[in-house]
Structure 1
Amino acid sequence: MKKKALKNIALILLVIILGIGVCEIYGQLNGYSQTSEGDLSQYGVHHYKINARFLEEKNLLQVQQEVFYENKYEKEFDTIYFHLYPNAFQEEKKAPFPEDEIEQAYPSGFEPGYIKIEKVKVEGKDIKSRIEGQDDTILALSLKQPLKPNEKITIEFEYQVKVPPCVSRFGYGENTYNFGNWYPIASVYDESGWNLEPYYAIGDPFYSEVGNYEVTLQLPKKYELATTGNIKKTDTVEGSKGEEEEKIWKIEAQGVRDFAWVISDDFQVKTADTDGTQIKVYYLEGQEGNKALEVAKNNIKIFNKLFGKYPYQQFSVVSNDFYIGGMEYPNLVYIDQNIFSGKYNIALEYIITHETAHQWWYGMIGNDEVDQPWLDEALTEYSTMLYYRERYGEKTMMTMFNEMIVNDYVRTKALVQGDERIAKSVKEFENNRAYSGIVYGKGAMMFYELEEKVGKENFQKILQHYFKENRFTNATEKDIQDATRSVTGKDYQEFFDQWLNGKIHLKGNQAA
């Protein structure tokens, strides 16, 4: 996710952009050579089959879901867990936003959102289940027989999802309905056990495994759909009581970490092909669709070169009712519609670039975004700088780095009261400003310093090695250290420990 003060970005970037000479980037692709036509289903841990119908007059989804769940660990499970993120929106005082942002999140006033589980079956039989955790965001399923390593089971859900008037990841505004983190998704089990964290108000508090999805959406015909995955087929059907026609969308998404979608009856769409990927931009009348398309095309081309090939067939940039700036999902990113307006045209490039970089660092290489948020956010923020270097040159990149990263860190140092550890959980930050300055700002400065130490060529090789070895998995701090050691032949553990655990305190871009 990228959250900045838009006016500050616009003013800073306007100064920068006046001195930029535009150039195109060409060259042979490096790293992972998987084509967009490749079979990605082999990377899916679980398989989700979802059928949902949207009842617009009630702001309600009626859903049937099957999960073909596999135990890929060396431990038997008596209980397995799913996240129910929509339940975080049930009460205004507990909604997943800082207190001072509630009015921004609910511009027309608070109404609850939730997910109501009506039936759960395992292998066709009813089982005991309970809703637990903070804000009722965890569903625990008690299995009648232990699930042994390498065994598979089929879980069936029936549920309703109430969509709140919230201009966030999940909710609706004047122009769009946003469906992010909206369905029961399997919790991750790792060396620390089950990860059952709630929907925190700071950062992107999610942690998931790559899966495969077959999704069928039945929507009023007037809506245009932007979605994770590939739209395989559409059909028109008579609506309820013959009053309105509906459209059925059949979508397939293989090897993705999550599934999100956005609908609007006002969308306009522009498309282009880049390096075997179809780029789609969904925007509203009078907005900067052409600019967004140009940026997304250059993002994919440059990041393909720097990191490794984007393996999916499509990537969508979506203008929507979303007050937080930008948000990443597999094959799809949210961008605040105000940034699309043209008034913040320069900021549009910055935020689209950041969210596109997340397709590599979060999408293809995942991590625990609750306990190690720096691993994707810091690398994504510095990847944004790498884009500006490739696109516009070293001078512009350094101007951007100092203005957008170093200065952001300096402005927020006081908010962390001396605790400058990058390697903190989202729950250890009191507000988004402190989170941004340390995780994004100081974290990106760490990667800049690493590049200075190993050299630009080796740094690019480190990122390519990291991508190749960890794609479609969840990585940890150890994996980026291993990639650094493999490329350079040197152990940089002390370097990472000093930066991540707060032993380096900076003034500007110099160590104090």
Structure 2
Amino acid sequence: MKKWLLACVIFLTANLYSSAKVLSDHQLQNISNRFAKYLKTGNEDLLISCIDTTSQKYESIARAWRQTYNNMTYLYQDTGRIQIDLYVWGSEHDDDYISLIPNLQNAKPNERFYEYLVPILKIRKFSDSKLITDLIFPYRLINQIHFDVDALLNPSENYIRATCSVQFETLDRLFESVIFTLYPDLTIHNILLNGVKIDVDYHRWFLCLKVPKQFQDSSFFNAVIEYSGVINDEDNFYIREDGTQLCFWPWFPYVDPIIEDALGSPQLIQLDPFSHEFTLQFPERYYSLSNWGKLEESSVRGNYRIEGWNSPKVYGDIGILLGKWTKLQMESIGNIHPTLYLKNDLHIELETLKQKITRLITFYSSQFSEPSNKFFNIVEAPVYWNCENYISSNLGIMDHEMAHFWWRSNPLNWFFHSLTEYSDLLFKRELYGETNFHKRLIEKWCDYYQWMGSDPNLVLESDNIITYYLGPIMQYYFNKEIGDENLFQLCRKLTSLPYDRFTFSHRELMQMVQEVVGRDYETFFNGWIKAPIKLEGNNLIPEQHIQEIQAIHGYASQRKELYRKKDWTALIELCDVILKKKTDFKMIWLRHKGNFLLKSNQYEDALKTYQLSIQEFDPKLDREDRLDRSYLRQAQTYDLLHSRDKAMKYYNIVIESLQSPPEVKASAFKYSKKPFTKDEIDTVLE
């Protein structure tokens, strides 16, 4: 799943007389307690008891919290640590405005992701039970916004000092507060609003600016915020022992409409024009990359590099990386010009990398025509970057990431994201044949029902994880319906559109389909995207695979409860049931079993199981980046068995790998410096 940087969300509260300092009453705290218990148990009655079932927003509110429950409990199996922060923004007429902020007790930096993915909730103030009647996604109240950031960065200490000027125009007037989402624990040095120093409230991720009375009739604001601090986020920087590789995300503000998608709203978002300008200053030995901006100028003054960036896009990442790269311009492939940025010690597998890039571009271009963007930058960086500027050179994920050059990187659109994954499947069919292709489709069904085991109410149009699983299956049956010629004609029509046109409404897509195919396919797509595909009665799955998928679905349905009980024996037995049913894709289930053996302190058996997992790896079926997860677990187990030399052998395999996922490589770096210990076993996920 992708991580976003600091979101800058502005919520303009009309005539709210209270602030975050107002104490919540007993009824509001009761709602908070019920939501916390819901996130721990998944009890739907607790969720429903908090929402006004007569409200037009009932389904949206319930969906948002179901999505939060599903995502939090998927990532953090120890649900006993989940808690809710109640934050009261104020009151208007008969309503209270609050945020219920899910978080974990004693959260590590990389466990704090969901804290800012919260809407503002509107609660009927004088209701006997204080029912939630509405939820507000704050960015919708903004018409225009511009960021101008001047930042001094010290990546080696993960430190930032920045001055951010934010200009925005509001859709309404009479406002008393403006709320930014800001990385927690920074130091706020100064804040001016329209040139006037103002009071602020800084609560976890939220920075609440008080609008002076003289500006409450204004519709245009300029806020200048000076802040500094250490960004201690374990997921976002990676350091090698020899200091040659580091990635630092500086957490600049940006408007984040993806919050709405992450909380399960099915609406596609039409974005207003935004602009960003950044001036970055950082030590000369570092270099920067962006997956959304354009570098306008760069110079070196003394020991510092000064860069100017701008972007018309709403969200994205700038990374500051240590170490120089060698720029390698590959030969053009048709009209496409790939450029590689690699470390000075060029990969010994450089030819393998170049061959894969060439095959991918050649295949996708032949099927879908060349994309409107002809300049592909592929960079060796410890991040999942894909966009018109850069993609990762990671061989394990490049097939999917390269397809984003054709289908855009906007995860808000179920159609394009599923088409990206289907393009990857078509490429694999070209390499390995039809039988291999159908095995992969079956595995997509397995992945889908494993994900659905945690929440059977999820639907494809509002859950961007499902697009990885059900999305390509849907595109396969759409392909069968309309034939290859029509599908590729539709794809060529889409690739001919300007790349910066990255948001499409459902109606526009359906009109394009009708123009190409000659008939309306809205009913077809609605059947896939608006309701779950139940396992019972699913006649699309071949009969010989039904028991295998039922076993996986059963495992997923019980996993959270068994995790809560720490019943590792039961989970091991469920893995054994699945392994007996499967003929392919056993590697990942052997690793799951090894993890549960590790958690139950059966180190020798865990080690043997991880070794079996590695032996089961099939490069024609399994994703390349999954292999290194098993190597990492093998290394950690050797540490627990006090075999440091063997542990280092496998840590180094992961560190030097061309296909290791960023978070896996980060762990290998970490434990190559200090051994993995028994106290850290709880951090081992599936």
* TM category, shorter: 0.5 to 0.7
CA offsets, 1:464-489, max 9 Å, x none?
44563995353354443343233223
The answer to whether the 8 A contact 1:80-1:141 is kept is: yes
Pick the aligned partner of 1:502 from 532, 544, 564.
532
Q: CA deviation at 1:452?
A: 1.3
1:197-212 mapped onto 2 (5 Å cutoff): 211-212=274-275
- Aligned residue identity for 2:474: M
Whole-angstrom distance in 2 between the partners of 1:292 and 1:45: 42
Pick the aligned partner of 2:226 from 120, 136, 158.
158
Aligned to 1:119: 190
Gapped runs of 5+ residues in structure 2? 4-142, 264-268, 547-686
Pick the aligned partner of 1:486 from 515, 525, 528.
515
Whole-angstrom distance in 1 between the partners of 2:174 and 2:405: 32
Pick the aligned partner of 2:469 from 424, 436, 441.
441
1:442-481 mapped onto 2 (5 Å cutoff): 442-466=470-494, 468=497, 471-481=500-510
CA offsets, 1:379-420, max 9 Å, x none?
22112234456xxx3x73645543444314325524523827
Whole-angstrom distance in 1 between the partners of 2:314 and 2:276: 8
* Aligned partner of residue 185 in structure 1, secondary structure: coil
Whether 1:260 and 2:324 are equivalent positions in the alignment is no
Whether 1:356 and 2:402 are equivalent positions in the alignment is yes
Whether 1:279 and 2:339 are equivalent positions in the alignment is yes
Q: Assess, with a 3 A threshold, how the Cα gap between structure 1 residues 142 and 246 changes in structure 2: closer, same or farther.
A: same
Q: TM-score, normalised by structure 2?
A: 0.47
Whole-angstrom distance in 2 between the partners of 1:445 and 1:249: 44
Q: Assess, with a 3 A threshold, how the Cα gap between structure 1 residues 453 and 424 changes in structure 2: closer, same or farther.
A: closer
- Aligned residue identity for 1:474: T
Q: CA deviation at 1:327?
A: 4.2
Pick the aligned partner of 1:49 from 142, 148, 156.
148
- Aligned residue identity for 1:402: H
Q: CA deviation at 1:440?
A: 0.8
Q: CA deviation at 1:361?
A: 4.0
Whether 1:62 and 2:161 are equivalent positions in the alignment is yes
Whether 1:178 and 2:247 are equivalent positions in the alignment is yes
More strand by share: 1
CA offsets, 1:252-305, max 9 Å, x none?
445574242241226444233643655333347353444444544555566566
Q: TM-score, normalised by structure 1?
A: 0.61
Q: Assess, with a 3 A threshold, how the Cα gap between structure 1 residues 254 and 509 changes in structure 2: closer, same or farther.
A: same
The answer to whether the 8 A contact 1:50-1:66 is kept is: yes
* Aligned partner of residue 445 in structure 2, secondary structure: helix
Pick the aligned partner of 2:285 from 222, 225, 228.
222
Gapped runs of 5+ residues in structure 1? 4-43, 88-113, 189-194, 201-205, 239-244, 340-347, 427-434
Larger-Rg structure: 2
Q: CA deviation at 1:52?
A: 1.9
- Aligned residue identity for 1:271: Q
Aligned to 2:421: 381
Whole-angstrom distance in 2 between the partners of 1:399 and 1:80: 57
The answer to whether the 8 A contact 1:466-1:480 is kept is: no
Whole-angstrom distance in 2 between the partners of 1:181 and 1:403: 42
Aligned to 1:333: 391
Higher mean C-alpha displacement, 455-464 vs 137-146: 137-146
Identity between Structure 1 and Structure 2 (%): 19
* Aligned partner of residue 397 in structure 2, secondary structure: helix
* Aligned partner of residue 172 in structure 1, secondary structure: coil
Aligned to 1:423: 460
Whole-angstrom distance in 1 between the partners of 2:447 and 2:229: 40
Q: Assess, with a 3 A threshold, how the Cα gap between structure 1 residues 171 and 210 changes in structure 2: closer, same or farther.
A: farther
Q: How many residues align?
A: 384
Whether 1:413 and 2:449 are equivalent positions in the alignment is yes
CA offsets, 1:43-91, max 9 Å, x none?
x9644332222124532011223344456xx66684665443x44xxxx
- Aligned residue identity for 2:298: T
Q: Assess, with a 3 A threshold, how the Cα gap between structure 1 residues 146 and 360 changes in structure 2: closer, same or farther.
A: farther
Q: Assess, with a 3 A threshold, how the Cα gap between structure 1 residues 2 and 59 changes in structure 2: closer, same or farther.
A: closer
Q: Assess, with a 3 A threshold, how the Cα gap between structure 1 residues 179 and 83 changes in structure 2: closer, same or farther.
A: farther
Whole-angstrom distance in 2 between the partners of 1:221 and 1:281: 18
The answer to whether the 8 A contact 1:407-1:508 is kept is: no
* Aligned partner of residue 422 in structure 2, secondary structure: helix
Q: CA deviation at 1:328?
A: 3.0
1:311-322 mapped onto 2 (5 Å cutoff): 314-322=375-383
Pick the aligned partner of 1:231 from 286, 295, 304.
295
* Aligned partner of residue 186 in structure 1, secondary structure: coil
Whether 1:248 and 2:317 are equivalent positions in the alignment is no
Whole-angstrom distance in 1 between the partners of 2:207 and 2:358: 40
The answer to whether the 8 A contact 1:235-1:248 is kept is: yes
Whole-angstrom distance in 2 between the partners of 1:510 and 1:379: 23
Whole-angstrom distance in 1 between the partners of 2:270 and 2:385: 15
CA offsets, 1:26-50, max 9 Å, x none?
xxxxxxxxxxxxxxxxxx9644332
Q: Assess, with a 3 A threshold, how the Cα gap between structure 1 residues 492 and 128 changes in structure 2: closer, same or farther.
A: farther
The answer to whether the 8 A contact 2:155-2:248 is kept is: no
* Aligned partner of residue 53 in structure 1, secondary structure: strand
- Aligned residue identity for 2:341: V
The answer to whether the 8 A contact 1:209-1:473 is kept is: no
Whole-angstrom distance in 1 between the partners of 2:181 and 2:323: 30
Whole-angstrom distance in 2 between the partners of 1:504 and 1:463: 29
Q: CA deviation at 1:355?
A: 1.6
- Aligned residue identity for 1:502: P
Whole-angstrom distance in 1 between the partners of 2:451 and 2:328: 42
Of structures 1 and 2, the one scoring higher in RCO (CA 8 A, sep 6+) is 1
* Aligned partner of residue 469 in structure 2, secondary structure: helix
Aligned to 1:26: none
Whole-angstrom distance in 2 between the partners of 1:153 and 1:308: 45
More helix by share: 2
The answer to whether the 8 A contact 2:327-2:341 is kept is: yes
Whole-angstrom distance in 2 between the partners of 1:246 and 1:451: 53
